[in-house]
Amino acid sequence: MAEKTEIKIFVASANDVAAERVQVILLLNQLNKSHRHLFLEAVEWEYDKEKGSQFEFEDVQDSINPLLRNCQIAVFIFYSRIGLNTRKEFELANDEKIKFMAYFRQGFSPNKDNLAEFGELLSFKTNLNNKVLYSDYSDEVDFYSKFYQDLNLYLSKKFPSLTENINYQNKEALEIEVKLKKERELDINILKEDFKYKHKSSDIPFPDVFFTGREKKLAELDKSVNENKIVVINGIGGVGKTELTAYYIREKIEDLDRVIWYDCTSESRFDTFLNKIGFGYILEGENKKDKTLIDYPYIV
């Protein structure tokens, strides 16, 4: 099994969007199934940082910052306020050029007790204009949908799987193949027009532009034509009898003016067939003209 690439995602928010933090965990579990070459892991300092004294750091936030620096992605979720530590984490992610995504929940109605905090959040959001592509959302379901779309798109571009690379290479190869087929089709069309000019009355169909292979069948047909006066090609509908015959005639018969192509369906008139080959005078009388090819099985 190929080794997976570990992607750590730092989750930063105040406690007023606890439901969204749960959605992040569920979403990462879902994306781990669709991006099987990756292992997405949420980093939440509440669970990833041991509690207790942090004597080696000046303050608690300094002890959390290494967790953020070790992440490839950070997601920031806001609703009614922006805490001091969340702001520091946002600034650190920006300074360290860590890919981050910001989401603002709508619908909060402040009162006199939290109006100042909410105003600070609005000022922070305003300052992001023309600098950060953030998203507004209405509820947990809307957040899940937008975050899933954003993260899935970023992962597909930044961490493509081998299959995705192969698909991309195949796409380029397919584009080249289509171009060559168009060029070949153009050449065939030129040949068709040239043939129609030389054989204006011919009803012989042209084989499909992309006819290929079937060398064994063509060789068997050529052998049968050279050794027999009558050759019958039979088979169920759709196996390619007409294509094979048309291709053989185009490739092997030099004097196409001597070839008569006639559609022997049950509706085809026998007198029409004789007229086409130049022996229409053989049949006379209305009763005989009413007969179709199936009334003369020995002809078929």
pLDDT, position 294: 45
Pair (20, 151) in one structural domain: yes
> Most distant CA pair in the chain: distance in Å?
118
Place of tokens 């105003």: 119
Residue pair 276/262 in contact by the 8 Å Cβ criterion:
yes
pLDDT, position 248: 81
Partners of residue 76 on adjacent β-strands: 12, 102
Pair (170, 52) in one structural domain: no
Report the distance separating Cα 191 and Cα 187, nearest Å: 6
Pair (27, 147) in one structural domain: yes
Pair (81, 226) in one structural domain: no
Domain that holds residue 295: 262-300
pLDDT, position 160: 83
Pair (45, 72) in one structural domain: yes
* Cα within 13 Å of Cα(162), Cβ side: 6
Q: What would the pLDDT profile of 19-76 be if each residue is shown by its tens digit?
A: 898 889 888 988 888 888 889 999 887 665 666 666 677 777 788 888 999 999 999 9
Q: Please, is 77 exposed, middle or buried when counting C-beta atoms within 10 Å of its C-beta (0-12, 13-18, 19+)?
A: buried
SS3 123: helix
Residues of the chain with pLDDT under 70: 1-2, 46-55, 162-181, 183-203, 206-212, 254-258, 263-300
- Percent composition of the chain: helix, strand, coil (DSSP 3-state, to 5): 55, 10, 35
pLDDT, position 213: 74
Please give the tally of structural domains in the chain. Answer: 4
100's tokens = 């981050």
